[in-house]
Structure 1
Amino acid sequence: MIKRLSVAIAAAVLLFTALVLPPAQAQSVNQQLAAGSVLETIKKRGAIKVGMSTFVPWAMRDKNGELIGYEIDVAKQLAEDMKVKVEFVPTAWDGIIPALLAGKFDLIIGGMSITPERNLTVNFTQPYAHSGIQIVAHKEQAAGFKSLEDFDKPDVVLAVRRGATPATAAKRMLPKATLRQFDEDALALQEVLNGKAHAFITSTPTPAFEALKHPDKLFLPIPEPFMQGAEGFALRKGDPDALNFFNNWILLRQQDGWLKERHDYWFKTRDWAGQVVGE
C-alpha cells in the first residue's frame, strides 16, 4: 500500500512538473526576450536610430542639406507614432548590414530589397514598398537595344551601385556584360551620361526620372522593369517583439492609406524635385 502511494505521489509530482514548470519557464524566457528587445532600448533612449543611405527618391539631401525622401517620411512617422525622436545614421550601402549587426543603429529603413541571402543575416519585416529594377541607357551607345539579350554581351558596359540589389540582378541576369560598380547612384549615372557605359541599372522610378531629365542623352530601352522587388525594414535577428511591432505598424499604415500616399508622392510625381539640387 505504501509502495503504491509513493508511486502515485511521484507520478503526481512528475505531472505537476510537466504541466506547470514549462509554461513558467516559457514566461521567463518571454520576459527576458522582451527586456532585451531593441524596442526597450529605443524607449529608454527616447530616440530611434535609423540606418540609411542616400538615393533618389528614397532618401536625399535638399538644397539646405536636410534629408528628405520616402524613407525619411517613413522613419519620421514611425518615430512620431512611437513618441520618440528619430536619428538618421547615413551609412555606405555595402557596409550597412555589418553596421546594423555591430549595433550602430536600431534598424535599416533604406529601400532594402528582401532577398534570401540578406535574410540569412538579418530579419525583414513585411514589405512596406514594392519597386522594380529597370535599365536607362545612353542613346548612342545603346542605339537599337530593345531587350535584355542586347545588353548581355562582353562589350556592353553596365553601371550599377555597389552592393545593391540591381547589381546582384545584373550579375545574375546579364552574366556576359561588363559590370562597373560605383559607391553612389549619381556616379553610376554620370558614367552613362559621359558615354563611358551603355546603361545604368537601378531601382524604379530613377530610370524613368533620368530619361525625362536627359531626353537628349538617355532613353528606356525596355519600357517596364525587368525584375520586381519588395522592400522591408531590416532588423537584427532574435528580436520577435520588435519584428511584431514593426510588422503591425506597416500593416496599420497600409490600411489607413498613409504609406500609399507618401509612396505615390515620391515615386509617381516630381513635385518634390525643386527641393533637390540637380533634380
Structure 2
Amino acid sequence: MKSYKKVLLAVTAAMVFSAPALADKLRIGTEGAYPPFNMIDSSGEVTGFDLDIAKALCERMGAECSVVISDWDGIIPALNTRRFDFLVASMSITEEREQAVDFTMPYYTNKLQFVAPKKSEFGVDEESLDGKTIGAQRATIAGQWLEENMGDVVDIRLYDTQENAYLDMNAGRIDGVLADAFVQYEWLQSEAGENFEFKGEPVFSNDKIGIAVRKGDPLRERLNEALQEIVDDGTYAEINAKYFPFSIY
C-alpha cells in the first residue's frame, strides 16, 4: 500500500509541475476586413497590425493561438458565445461595449478624420457639410459620431465594411467618408485612394482601442501583462514601424 501511495504521489506531483509547461490553446477573434489592422491576404492568411500584436501577446503568454474570422456586426456576440477567447479587431473602448465585455488597457489611440476627393470643396463645419452624403462603417465610433453630431446636417450611409464605403465614394455615390485616421492613411497610399485626401483636422482624437474578453475572464490580466512586456522590450515599436512611419501607441 505504501509503494502505491508513493507512486500516486509521484504521478500527481509530476502532473502539477508539468502543467505550466503545457501551452494554452487560445483563439483570436478578428474581422479580417480592416486594413492595415486586420485583413486577408492573397494566400487566405489573416494578417495585419492587430494580428501581429495578438501573436506577440500569445508568444509572451506561452499560448498556442489560432485565428477566427467574424463579421463586425456580430463580433461581440461571437466572443460571448465562445467562438473565440479574445478579440483583437481595432475595437474602440466605449461604455456601451463595457457592459457586454471587459477590455484590456489600450493598445493604440485612434483619431477620426474625413476623407473626400481632392478636387472637392469639402469643409468639416456644419455649413460646408450641409446636405452632403457621408459614409461610415456600421457599429463604429465614426458612425456613432456622425449620428450624434451631424445627424440633422448630412445624409449618413452606413456600410458593413470600410471597403464598401470607399467603393461608393469612388463611384461618386457619397461625398466623403469618416473613419479611423490610420485606416484612412493606409487607403490613401493605395492606388484606389490616389485621388482622395484628408479634409480638415481630426474631429475626435482620443479613441482608445482595446482587446476584448468575456466579462470577468482572468485572461484580461494576462493580456495586460503581456502587452506591457512587448511595449517595454521594443516589440511593439517594431510592429508599429512595419505599418506606420509614426507611433500610434
TM-score by length of 1: 0.73
Asked if structure 2 preserves the Cα contact closer than 8 Å seen for 1:158 and 1:179, the reply is yes
Q: Please state if 1:95 is matched with 2:71.
A: no
Q: 2:135 aligns with which of 159, 163, 184?
A: 159
- What is the one-letter code of the residue matched to 2:126? E
Residue in structure 2 matched with residue 274 of structure 1 by the alignment: none
- Counterpart amino acid of residue 230 in structure 2: R
CA distance in 1 between partners of 2:202 and 2:59 (Å): 34
Q: Name the SS for the 2:89 alignment partner.
A: coil
Residue of structure 2 equivalent to 1:264 = 241
Match status 1:210 vs 2:187: yes
* Equivalent residue in structure 1 for 2:25, among 32, 47, 68: 47
Say which one has the larger Rg. Answer: 1
Name which of 133, 136, 150 aligns with 2:112.
133
Unaligned 5+ residue runs, structure 2?
1-18
SS in 2 for 1:135: strand
Give the letter for the 1:160 counterpart.
A
What is the 5 A alignment of 1:111-122?
A: 111-122=90-101
> 1: CA distance between counterparts of 2:194 and 2:68?
37
Q: 2:149 aligns with which of 168, 173, 182?
A: 173
* Higher normalized helix content (fraction of residues): 1
CA RMSD of aligned residues (A): 2.2
Contact 1:160 1:166 in 2 (8 A): yes
d(CA) in 2 for partners of 1:202, 1:191 = 14
Q: Which runs of 5+ in 1 are unaligned?
A: 1-39, 270-279
More strand by share: 2
Post-superposition offset of 1:93: 0.7
User: 1:230 is matched by which residue type in structure 2?
Assistant: K
Q: 1:216 to 1:66 in 2, by over 3 A?
A: closer
Residue 85 of structure 1: CA displacement?
A: 1.9
Go from structure 1 to structure 2 and tell me whether the alpha carbon gap of 1:104 and 1:194 turns closer, same or farther (over 3 Å shift): same
- AA paired with 2:167? Q
Aligned partner letter, 2:132: V
Measure, in 1, the Cα distance between the counterparts of 2:221 and 2:186: 35
Name the amino acid aligned to 1:238. Answer: G
- The answer as to whether partners of 2:134 and 2:176 remain within 8 angstroms in 1 is yes
Query: TM-score scaled to structure 2, two decimals?
Result: 0.82
